[in-house]
């Protein structure tokens, strides 16, 4: 239940994970690489933030801000000239916040080799366009076993990130 601009209470209709799924594709150019010809970590983080924000924006139909990035893992480098594919989806909705999972793959178009290079979890908060305060988000409808697993695991990660942000005094489920 949430209050709209009219002040009337409305029930937010659930949305499936598929409604948030987002993708971005880039090619790695020299300005984005280190002296070894590898895509800069900061550049990967920027792309992760962008594709994750798209999923949160699509799910919530709201402006969103990044609240935290609690896990980012660089498994393999992305080389100069390779294609980077980023995929994101909302894993779980809490009240005003959403956890988004991101996976990054590199693709060498010469050899067709694809590698999983990076995983990340990013939390966004939906912001009311008038009050600029956090606003409730539609529930997430999980359908597949994989979506359910991500949903369950997101709750465990939230406990850790809120513990880091607020300490023991603010543990919520």
Interacting residues toward ligand COA by CB under 6 A: 65-68, 94-97, 123, 125, 134, 161-162, 165
CB closer to ligand COA, 17 vs 125:
125
Contact yes or no for 75/118 (Cβ under 8 A):
yes
Spell out the residues 6+ positions from residue 155 whose beta carbon is closer than 8 angstroms to its own: 92, 173
Residue whose beta carbon is closest to ligand COA: 94
State the nearest-atom distance from the C-beta of 116 to ligand COA, in Å.
Answer: 25
State the nearest-atom distance from the C-beta of 96 to ligand COA, in Å.
Answer: 3
State the nearest-atom distance from the C-beta of 39 to ligand COA, in Å.
Answer: 22
Spell out the residues 6+ positions from residue 46 whose beta carbon is closer than 8 angstroms to its own: none
- Tell me phi and psi for residue 8, to 5 degrees: -80, 145
Note the Cα 87 to chain centre separation in Å.
9
Spell out the residues 6+ positions from residue 95 whose beta carbon is closer than 8 angstroms to its own: 136, 137
Percentages of the chain per state (helix, strand, coil), in multiples of 5: 30, 40, 30
CB closer to ligand COA, 89 vs 97:
97
CB closer to ligand COA, 46 vs 114:
46
CB closer to ligand COA, 116 vs 165:
165
State the nearest-atom distance from the C-beta of 120 to ligand COA, in Å.
Answer: 14
């Amino acid at each position: 239940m949430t209050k709209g601009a009219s002040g009337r209470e409305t029930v937010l209709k659930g949305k499936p994970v598929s409604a948030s799924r987002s993708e971005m594709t880039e090619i790695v150019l020299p300005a984005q690489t280190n002296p070894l010809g590898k895509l800069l970590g900061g550049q990967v983080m920027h792309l992760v933030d962008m594709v994750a924000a798209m999923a949160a924006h699509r799910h919530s139909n709201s402006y969103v801000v990044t609240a935290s990035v609690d896990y980012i893992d660089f498994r393999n480098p992305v080389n100069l000239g390779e294609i980077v594919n980023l995929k994101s989806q909302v894993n779980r909705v809490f009240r005003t916040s959403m956890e988004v999972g991101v996976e990054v793959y590199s693709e060498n178009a010469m050899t067709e080799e694809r590698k999983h290079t990076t995983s990340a979890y990013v939390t966004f908060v939906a912001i009311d366009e008038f009050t600029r305060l956090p606003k409730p988000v539609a529930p997430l409808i999980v359908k597949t076993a994989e979506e359910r697993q991500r949903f369950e695991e997101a709750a465990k990660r939230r406990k850790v990130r809120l513990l880091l942000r607020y300490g023991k005094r603010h543990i919520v489920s």
